[in-house]
Amino acid sequence: MRMSFCVRDQIRFHLRKRIEALEEGYRQNVGLIGPDGMGKTYLLESIFHSLIGQSRFIPVYFDAESVDYDNFAERWIGAMLTGVFLSQSVQPPENYQSLLRAAALIVPVTVGRIETLQKNFRKEKIATSVRELFSLIGTLSDETGKKVALLIDEFHAIEKLPANDPFVMMGREIMAQKNTIYIVASSYAARAKEIFRDKFSLLFGNFEIVEIDAFDGDQAEKWIKSRIPGKQFGATEIKFLLRLTGGNPQYLDILIDRIEAQVTHIESAHHIPTFELDFEKKVPKRSFFDAVYEEVFSEFGRIGLLFRNRIDLCSRMAKDSAPYLKALVALACGRRKMLGISTFIEKKNRETKKILDRLVHEEWVCRKGDFYILNDVFFRFWLREVFYKKKQLFTPEMIKVRQSFIEALERQWRECENSWRDGLAMTVEKLFKEFRNDVVEVGQKRWQCPQFSEIGFRPTNEKVITFYAKGPRVRWLCQVAYEPVKEEEIASFIQESKKYKKRILKKIMIAVGGIEQNAKLMAQEARIQVWDLKCFNALLDLYDIPKFVMGVEEDKYGSNVGTLAEGVYQA
């Protein structure tokens, strides 16, 4: 992944501050979690390279995904000793045995312990060997008198080691190694959190969890423009890429790479003079469609290959993998609840629940209250528009599937073109109309979304729109703010809620532009529930409504709010 403009600067700066604090005697280990393609490995590599040549630290980078324990142990030792040389700006030997011999002259005590460890391994004392392997980091730090920055990618794979409970062993070493900071990363968020909670509980919360999310509108816009600096990208183009990929940096990187190649080819093929390029700054719509087609639909596309590999992995989940694949397709086609999924895959509810529970456990699917969802929106798109439709063909002719694929892209493009007309208020109204007494779970919080009989909204002031929604037994008062919410907006909301004679069961502030800390505390005291942009978009995704993109919106509230402001709509 080529991040020519690093939109992860804030996280990288935070990690550097944690490493520098270790010198002052304060240690805070960090766990980076997030799906594949979010840039976790890039962050670890970036930190690793920034520490090379700094004599104060020994940088150690290790990928825990290994062939077997022998491979794991050799690479762990090799990464440690390589870090010793790099901390002195010396090029280390690349061969393992040469590395051991060279390191014996610098850290003889550590190398002596490595030799003992290898003897235990040969005597099949594997559990002892695993424990000693983890303890080598402390020995190395003590012998050199240096702090160690240990960066472990996909650290959940450590559980595959041939020991009774390798994470408990590692936890004890983490407690003892005061001069080592652990920065670990995992693509299995639920499993990683479980390890932090259950296996590392003896550390008294000594791991700070940092969730690596997809790019938001502002991040994506800056990064995309930095990749092709001579071209202009409007709001429609940015939103099209964001909605299609879900902001996944890996997918965006591949698509922009393809678009860049196409633009270069067109300009060179037509021999466009340099002075005329200023008049051709906008990337044509056709280039976006061609890039998606080549990378997703084409047999040789990189994103399509990633998705086909996932299908192969899913096919190995059980002897009869068909129900698992069908369940994924059902989710991609908008079946989000148990009844709809069981009807689609033609299984009873009990069998369907077992299938979904397995998919949730393997982190293919997330459960959010009554809903099941595939978080990867691009994978959903591919399953629905390519995989499923190909499986319905009676002949090898792909013309209709290709045509349907392009039509799906056209629909996405039109939605992005027209999204500013709907605006934020209309998006909230559309969401409320979808509620059917559902239990949802967003951000580890559960609540019920009742079915409303009336929904009305009006602008309260320039910054806020007020919604009033009611059903047979419920009344919600909601305010929507595009700009960052301050204490004044919360105070105004409290006053607004006092105007209603009948009791309001739920008060909600949808703060898509963020909320100040004091305002958040004030909202908590007044029992006003705050939905930030992440929470709001998670709800939209559950109900299959396009996510709201911040940073590239042409119009804050839409062009027709004034006309509809006083309207009351029947849900």
> pLDDT tens, 65-93?
998 989 999 999 999 999 999 999 999 99
Distance CA 336, CA 435 (A): 13
Amino acid found at 468: Y
423 or 544: which leads in pLDDT? 544
The mean per-residue pLDDT over the stretch 368-372 comes to: 94
> Looking at residue 4, what is its pLDDT?
45
Q: How many CA atoms lie within 13 A of 276 on its CB side?
A: 6
> pLDDT tens, 380-427?
999 999 999 999 888 888 899 999 999 999 999 998 887 765 578 889
**In Å, how far are 237, 270, 273 from 276, measured between CA atoms?**
22, 12, 5
> pLDDT tens, 24-51?
889 999 999 999 889 899 899 999 999 9
Domains of the chain and any CATH numbers = 9-211 (3.40.50.300), 217-297 (no CATH), 418-570 (3.40.1350)
> pLDDT tens, 269-303?
655 554 444 445 788 899 999 999 999 999 899 99
The mean per-residue pLDDT over the stretch 151-165 comes to: 92
The structure tokens listed for 267 are 């300009």
**In Å, how far are 31, 153, 468 from 209, measured between CA atoms?**
5, 14, 37
> Looking at residue 77, what is its pLDDT?
95
The mean per-residue pLDDT over the stretch 352-361 comes to: 95
Is residue 553 scored above 80 in pLDDT? no
> Looking at residue 272, what is its pLDDT?
53
Mean pLDDT of the chain: 87
Confidence label for 258 from pLDDT (cuts 50, 70 and 90): very high
> Looking at residue 202, what is its pLDDT?
56
Confidence label for 561 from pLDDT (cuts 50, 70 and 90): very low
Confidence label for 557 from pLDDT (cuts 50, 70 and 90): very low
Is residue 135 scored above 70 in pLDDT? yes
Percent above pLDDT 70 for the chain: 90
> Looking at residue 570, what is its pLDDT?
33
> Looking at residue 267, what is its pLDDT?
67
534 or 206: which leads in pLDDT? 534
Max Cα distance, the chain (Å): 82
Q: What share of the chain is helix, strand, coil (3-state, %, to 5)?
A: 55, 15, 30
| 8-state DSSP, 391 | T
> Looking at residue 344, what is its pLDDT?
95
Reported in sequence order, the residue ranges of 438-513 that DSSP labels E, i.e. its strands, are: 438-442, 445-449, 454-459, 464-470, 475-481, 506-511
Burial of 473 (C-beta count, 10 Å sphere; 0-12/13-18/19+)? exposed
424 or 356: which leads in pLDDT? 356
Percent above pLDDT 90 for the chain: 58
